[in-house]
Amino acid sequence: MSAVTQADQAAAGSAPGGLVGRRGLGDRSFQWLALGCGLLVLVILVLIAVTTTQQASSWFTTEGWGIFGTKWIPAENKFGATPFIYGTAVTAIIALVMAVPVSIGIALLLTEVVPYRLARPIVYVVDLLAVVPSVVWGLWGILVFAPWIQHIYAHIASAVTGVPVLGFFFGTPTSGASFFTAGIILAFMITPIVTSLSREVIATVPAVDREGAYALGATRWEMIRGVVWPHSQGGVVGAILLGLGRAMGETIAAALVIGSSPVITSRLFSTGYNMPAVIANQFGEATGVFRAGLMGLGVLLFAFTIVINIIARAIVDRSARRKRGA
Amino acid sequence: MAVATEPRRADLREPAGWRRTKNRIATTAMVVSFVVVIIPLGFVLYTVIAKGASIISWSFLTSPIPVNVAPANVGGMGPAVLGTLEITALATVIAVPLGVLGAIYLNEYGGKNWLSRFIGFMADVMTGVPSIIMGLFIFSIWVLRFHYSGLAGALALACLMLPIVIRSTDEMLKLVPNSLREGSYALGASKSRVTLTVVLPAALGGIVSGALLAVARAAGETAPLLFTILTVATANANVFSGPNTSLPSQIFVNASSPYTGAQARGWGAALTLIAIAFILMIAARLVTARFARYQR
């Protein structure tokens, strides 16, 4: 009833927008409320940057460029971040090297090989990897996986000792909890996201192009090389970058299986440390510059992951838009 | 025309050669990559179920957490179960309404303007922010002033859930046909009224299922809780003050413990946590199947 009278009044009054009347107070406040909630995302991101940087300021001021030092010895007040940046890079690269081929393989299997009713259960299974919480991967990694894989590391290490390049990376010392173990666990954890994003990108390849390649007598693999890959290259790179961001920030599993020693070494089977893991393990007992240093590692990690995510999202969005335009 | 008179069916494919072998190798590699993923998944689930099932029981879920050296059959994870339930519930109460309202702005008010696209983009970026950063953030902004509490943990989890809820709700609102909105406007309803009484109910199934998945993700998170709830062994029913504990943080503590009793309790807690995540996931599926009117 009230709606009708409102419309009548609007029609009678000569509102510039034609029949649209003045919107009620409740209506406008609801719009502001919704806008506020949307802006909350931006507010939180800015607040994260500001507050964590503030808390880390004493690290930046006391250490200066020393924040990129190679020694992290809290007892001697040495807080150099390089071992952790190095460890983060190494574990993330190991994770990507293992997860990317597997993820792209599964994405191609889902889009190009199996029929739809078989694809759904495969998607469920791959997504289950993401349902297992980080800490459960860590628990399994340190109590089951690390002791088991330690023997394999020992065999490989003794086999490659003395071999020029392999010995440099895979020689002794070895430990069940190591860069490599962390890399493997991270690979399991990032596979679902890389797979699902690659699949989305690959699914945008126009069916006409596929059929054209088949009509020319291409095998499935030739079709993938000639049609699917050129079309989805960019988007898959974006998916890989998102996986990289996840691998860098994944905390608890790495904290449990990386071995917790801040060293810079080429030996992938030796114990190491990365940025999120050291924050998780040492923050509880830290005070003063020590705490500021860990907070500063958080700031660096936030900066790295934000930049990577922005680039990755921009790439993925662009390839999705191109599909809509086509 | 020799082919046409040939009685056998003509095989137009090239004779088995390198091209077809290569194709077969590629297909095999794809299948192998799936198998490579199943093995660790099966291994993890098997271990958690095998080791967890032997210790889990009603008394395990309700008994207090004993000292680390206690054998496996003593005590349980009661305080951690309580903590996880109350902290996750509080985080849900905070994050879901805010996220749904944010998505309403993105889809109903902002539409395709630059601010709405920018917020949507940053929400995507925010889902990639490491969860430990949320812990550090709440530590700096909340814990330093108001001390450790379940509420601080819930705030950290809410920061994690917010972009997920916004994104999944946004997807669902996009699926609601415009004719529904137009029909309601034609009856003279205001925009807020259309949104609340027509658009939201139409998308409710999808929104609830997306929210459940966000809750499942948050319930398993440890890193945001480490510096916000302090992980004590005693039960704390008051989520708004005093240190608290949770299943994931308790697993983290027990995993680094050398005592077999503590490790066994860790496996029990891991099974409980995975069970919670599965229940939420299945609930999300059921909600989607029963109530979602529009699907992707």
- Average pLDDT of every residue of chain A: 88
Mean per-residue pLDDT, A297-322 = 90
Asked whether the beta carbons of residue B255 and residue A317 sit closer than 8 angstroms, the reply is no
Cβ atoms of residues A193 and A243 within 8 Å: yes
The larger pLDDT score, comparing residue A324 to residue A90, is at A90
Q: State the DSSP string of B27-79.
A: HHHHHHHHHHHHHHHHHHHHHHHHHHHTT--HHHHHSPP--TTS-TTS---HH
Interface test with A, best of B30, B48, B88 (most A CBs within 10 A): B30
A3: pLDDT strictly greater than 60: no
Q: Rounded to a whole number, what is the distance in Å from the CA of B296 to chain A's nearest CA?
A: 13
CATH number for B96:
1.10.3720.10
Residue % of chain B over a pLDDT of 70: 94
A59: pLDDT strictly greater than 50: yes
Within-domain flag for B15 = no
Mean per-residue pLDDT, A54-80 = 89
Q: How confident is the model at residue A168 (pLDDT cuts 50, 70, 90)?
A: confident
Q: Is B56 exposed, middle or buried (0-12, 13-18, 19+ CB in 10 A)?
A: buried
Cβ atoms of residues B44 and A132 within 8 Å: yes
CA dihedral A31, A37, A42, A44 (to 10 degrees): 160
Contacts of B52 (CB under 8 A, 6+ apart): B267, B268, B269, B270, B271, B272
The larger pLDDT score, comparing residue B16 to residue A303, is at A303
Within-domain flag for B105 = yes
Interatomic CA distance for residues B129 and A301, integer angstroms: 9
Q: What is the pLDDT of residue B162?
A: 96
- Chain A residues in contact with B256 (beta carbon < 8 A): 142, 256
Residue range of the domain that includes B153: 61-291
Domains of chain A are 86-325 (1.10.3720.10)
pLDDT tens for residues B38-62? 999 999 999 999 999 999 999 999 9
Q: What is the pLDDT of residue A160?
A: 86
pLDDT tens for residues A183-239? 999 999 999 999 999 998 898 888 999 999 999 988 899 999 999 999 898 889 999
- Chain B residues in contact with A44 (beta carbon < 8 A): 126, 137, 159, 162
Within-domain flag for B264 = yes
- Chain B residues in contact with A126 (beta carbon < 8 A): 34, 37
Mean per-residue pLDDT, A124-153 = 92
B180: pLDDT strictly greater than 80: yes
Cβ atoms of residues A172 and A155 within 8 Å: no
Interatomic CA distance for residues B55 and B63, integer angstroms: 12
Q: Rounded to a whole number, what is the distance in Å from the CA of A30 to chain B's nearest CA?
A: 6
pLDDT tens for residues A231-265? 898 889 999 999 999 999 999 999 999 998 898 98
Question: What is the number of structural domains in chain B?
Answer: 1
Closest by CA position to A262, among listed A297, A228, A236: A297
Within-domain flag for B17 = no
Lowest mean pLDDT among A27-31, A172-176, A188-192, A290-294: A172-176
- Average pLDDT of every residue of chain B: 90
pLDDT tens for residues B124-148? 999 999 999 999 999 999 999 999 9
What global pTM score does this model have?
0.90
Q: What is the pLDDT of residue A18?
A: 46
Chains A, B: CB contacts within 8 A come to: 273
- Chain A residues in contact with B140 (beta carbon < 8 A): 51-52, 54-55, 295
Q: How confident is the model at residue A6 (pLDDT cuts 50, 70, 90)?
A: very low
Lowest mean pLDDT among B64-73, B151-160, B168-177: B64-73
CA-based torsion, A227, A312, A196, B40: positive or negative:
positive
Which residue of A27, A52, A142 is in closest CB contact with B136? A52
In this complex, is the C-beta atom of A159 within 8 Å of any C-beta atom belonging to chain B? no
Q: What is the pLDDT of residue A11?
A: 41
Q: Which residue has the tokens 């440390």?
A: A273
Helix, strand, or coil (residue A23): coil
A1: pLDDT strictly greater than 50: no
A109: pLDDT strictly greater than 90: yes
Residue of B nearest to A23 (CA): B190
Interface test with B, best of A47, A252, A317 (most B CBs within 10 A): A252
The larger pLDDT score, comparing residue B12 to residue A101, is at A101
Q: What is the pLDDT of residue A163?
A: 80
Within-domain flag for B217 = yes
Q: Fill in the DSSP letter of residue B106.
A: I
- Taking CB atoms within 8 Å and a gap of at least 24, the contacts of A153-158 are A153/A178, A153/A180, A153/A269, A156/A269, A157/A269
B186: pLDDT strictly greater than 50: yes
Within-domain flag for B12 = no
pLDDT tens for residues A36-56? 999 999 999 999 999 999 999
Interatomic CA distance for residues B231 and B150, integer angstroms: 10
Interatomic CA distance for residues B193 and B184, integer angstroms: 9
Interatomic CA distance for residues B265 and B280, integer angstroms: 23
Interatomic CA distance for residues B19 and A288, integer angstroms: 65
Mean per-residue pLDDT, A152-164 = 86
Within-domain flag for B263 = yes
Cα angle B105, B111, B112 (rounded to 5 degrees) comes to: 135
Interface test with B, best of A40, A114, A148, A224 (most B CBs within 10 A): A40
ipTM of the complex: 0.90
Q: How confident is the model at residue B296 (pLDDT cuts 50, 70, 90)?
A: low
Phi, psi at residue A185, to the nearest 5°? -60, -45
Within-domain flag for B277 = yes
In this complex, is the C-beta atom of A325 within 8 Å of any C-beta atom belonging to chain B? no
Q: Which residues of A42-53 are buried (b: 16+ CB within 10 A; e: fewer)?
A: eebbeebbebbb
Q: Rounded to a whole number, what is the distance in Å from the CA of A143 to chain B's nearest CA?
A: 7
- Chain A residues in contact with B220 (beta carbon < 8 A): 131-136
Which residue of A35, A221, A312 is in closest CB contact with B105? A35
A68: pLDDT strictly greater than 50: yes
Interatomic CA distance for residues B209 and A308, integer angstroms: 29
Asked whether the beta carbons of residue A140 and residue B141 sit closer than 8 angstroms, the reply is no
